[in-house]
Structure formats: structure tokens, C-alpha cells
Amino acid sequence: MAGNVFRLTVAEDCRGMRLDQYLAKAVPDFSRSFARKIIDLGGVHLDGRRVRRSSLAVPAGASVEVYLEAQDPVIFSLSDAHILFRDPYVLAVNKPAGIDCQPTPARYKGTLYEALLRLLASPYRKGQKPSLGMVQRLDRDTSGVMIFSTHPRAHKGLSQLFTARHVQKVYLALVSGTMEEPQGEFSSLLARQRRTNLMKSVARGGKHALTRYKVVETFGDADLVEVEIPTGRSHQIRVHFAEAGHPLLGDSRYGGPSAWRGKILLRQMLHAWQLQLEHPVTGEPLKLKAPLPEAMSELLESVRLPGDDC
């Protein structure tokens, strides 16, 4: 059932059924308990609107869409281990790979956005919503540092810092092959292709993307590169290296190898390593660093990263 979308129309003889009961009857291999999990996640839409109440009575003729993810329906929650910086105005976290930043048709609960709302909810009364501003995105399978505004005084300032490109964003990536030059840059217009939903450099009609890189370590069949992106386009690091003939290890969507030196790679080897910016309220400099995830650190056991003290 993984990764499927079921589109249903409620028959007359199912009028008034509980939503979980209806799904157990209408969707192959669904049990009521599994249906309740998918409803709770936010993967069920009634007449185009997400519904998260299993006891809801379904009306005859209603359209029901059920979105199933490829992975198990587990709920991600933030812990102290994920928090890199926190004060009354902003919150920085180390996002794990495999977590969507924003709600998708298949999931609301357990996305980074929803997990942040739960983390921030404790001082609020029931029915009140925490103040949360999201100004950046990371791909689902990219890990690393992200910063959010958590107070109305910080929302506009943080947004302006990103819009004006006053934020230094540094990534670490493992790319296949050996880069022809130890440092360089890629510049192109990027646009999404409707047929594949992938990004691609185009001659016109796209948005400008600039990617600068520096080789940190070379392994003969792969390079560890430090990457800075003054722009912030969807997939730009992945696209630029793939188009240069050096797709990221593990990035199968853009032609990267799914294994390296005998190890299976379950994600693209891309990590948002550092953010440097001024605090949007106090003006103090912030340098935020997210430690490498296990999936990458195991591949780089003997590599000394830039700025390491030992």
C-alpha cells in the first residue's frame, strides 16, 4: 500500500458511517486501527479538505482521498537533542533526514512544522496557537540547521534577513567522482519540469541560482565539498552538481549512486552545516552549526572538517 493514493466516492449504503469504519470497508487491506493512524497523521481528505477525526460521519456522494506515504506512519517529535539555539525570539534546530518541513497531502502530524507547534505549545492555553515563522526549507532527506522565529517581534526581521540574502548558508555534500577544480561556482536559471517534478537549468523562464563550492577532501571516487548558496532555490545544490557530472551520493532522483564502498545509501549525502546571521531582534551575531548525522559521519570517520579544533 506504500506510496498510494486512493480516490473514493461514498456510496449511498455507506451514508453516516464513521470515517475509520468507511475506510476499512472501502480501501483494500485497511483495518480500522490502521485507518485511524492515517486519519491522525492527516492523510485523509474529505471533499478536498484534510480531516483528522475518525468518528466523523461520511455523507453519501462525498469524495474521499487517502494518501499513503512510503515509510511507516510514525510521529516525529523534537527533543532537546535537536535544539541548537533557543531564546524568546528564535529557535534553531538540527533537522533529521526523512522529515518533511511542511505538511504534505499524506501528513500533517509529525512534520517539522507540526512538531515545532507541539514543542512551543506548553505556555499557551487550549485553542491558542504558538507564534511561529518559517523562512527556509530543507528537502525531506536533507538534514541540518534551520532557524525559526517564535515571537512576533522576530518574524519580519528574520524574513528580511533571508530575503535580502544577509544569511550565510553553508552545506556539506558528498559528490560522486572527482571535481575538476578544487573550488568554483555554478550559476544558472532553474525551473521545475512538470513531467518529472524535478528541477533543471533552463535558458529562460527560471529563477537565478548561484552555488559556490570548495573541495574539503577527495577520495578518488568521491569528493567531500563545502557548499555556499547565496540563493536558495529548490534542489539547487543537487541539480548543479548533477548537471556538472557529479551527482550527490545517494541522490537517486538526480542520478546519484545508491551505494558507496559497499554501504547502501538511503538518502542524499547533503547536510545544512552552518548558518551565520544577525539576530533579528538583538542584532547579535549568530553562528549556528549542526553536527553531521550518523549516515554521513560513518562515511567520513577520519575526515577533519573545516573549523574543527582537533
Give catalytic residue positions. 139
167, part of any domain: yes
Q: What is the CATH number of the domain that holds 56?
A: 3.10.290.10
Strand 143-149 versus strand 270-278 pairing type: parallel
CB atoms within 10 A of CB 175: 27
Question: What is the number of structural domains in the chain?
Answer: 2
273, part of any domain: yes
Strand runs (DSSP E) across 29-160, as ranges?
44-46, 49-50, 63-67, 83-86, 90-95, 133-134, 143-149
On whether the CB atoms of residues 286 and 292 are closer than 8 A, the answer is no
Domain finish residue from 67, 98, 117: 67
The reported pTM is 0.87
Residues 44 and 89 in one domain: no
**What contacts 280, CB < 8 A, 6 or more positions away?**
89, 90, 149, 154, 156, 157, 158, 160, 161
User: What SS3 string covers 12-79?
Assistant: HHHCCCEHHHHHHHHCCCCCHHHHHHHHHHCCEEECCEECCCCCCECCCCCEEEEECCCCCCCCCCCC
Degrees to nearest 5, angle at CA 3 with 66 and 103: 65
Q: What is the CATH number of the domain that holds 279?
A: 3.30.2350.10
Residues 59 and 100 in one domain: no
72, part of any domain: no
Residues 46 and 102 in one domain: no
63, part of any domain: yes
Residues 267 and 126 in one domain: yes
Residues 14 and 117 in one domain: no
Residues 101 and 191 in one domain: yes
309, part of any domain: no
Q: Range of 221's domain?
A: 80-297
Task: Specify the DSSP element, H or E, that contains 113.
Answer: helix 112-120
Crossing angle of helices 32-41 and 19-26, in 10° steps, is: 120
Q: How far apart are CA 164 and CA 177, in angstroms?
A: 35
**What contacts 132, CB < 8 A, 6 or more positions away?**
113, 116, 117, 120, 148, 149, 150
285, part of any domain: yes
Q: Which residue numbers in the chain have pLDDT < 50?
A: 1-2, 310
Residues 41 and 88 in one domain: no
Residues 157 and 49 in one domain: no
Q: What DSSP assignment string belongs to 98-110?
A: T--SS-BTTBSTT
Residues 256 and 198 in one domain: yes
Residues 141 and 9 in one domain: no
Q: How far apart are CA 72 and CA 100, in angstroms?
A: 14
Residue type, 134: M
26, part of any domain: yes
Residues 207 and 274 in one domain: yes
Residues 133 and 11 in one domain: no
